[in-house]
Amino acid sequence: MLTPYPPGIPAVLPGERINAPVMEYLRSGVAAGMVVPDAADSTLDSVRVFVED
């Protein structure tokens, strides 16, 4: 789950597909000082995904 703070509302839930507008929201927020504590890479320069067969 990716929960940016502020506002503290989840932007991506487990199992949800991450699309370009969501990544732009998160990355622009991080650039403005928002924190995404749940991300494996808090800078959001890279995204770790799980692919299930």
Q: What is the pLDDT of residues 44-53, one digit of tens each?
A: 898 877 777 7
pLDDT of residue 52: 76
pLDDT of residue 23: 92
How far lies 18's CA from each of 40, 42, 50, in Å?
A: 15, 16, 12
Q: What is the pLDDT of residues 6-39, one digit of tens each?
A: 999 999 998 888 889 999 999 999 999 999 998 8
pLDDT of residue 50: 76
Q: Across 6-45, where does the E strand assignment appear?
A: none
Query: 3-32: buried (b, 16+ CB within 10 Å) or exposed (e) per residue?
Result: bbeeeeeebbeeeeeeeeeeeeebeebbee
Structure tokens at 1: 């789950």
Residue 18 near residue 50 (C-beta atoms within 8 A): no
pLDDT of residue 38: 85
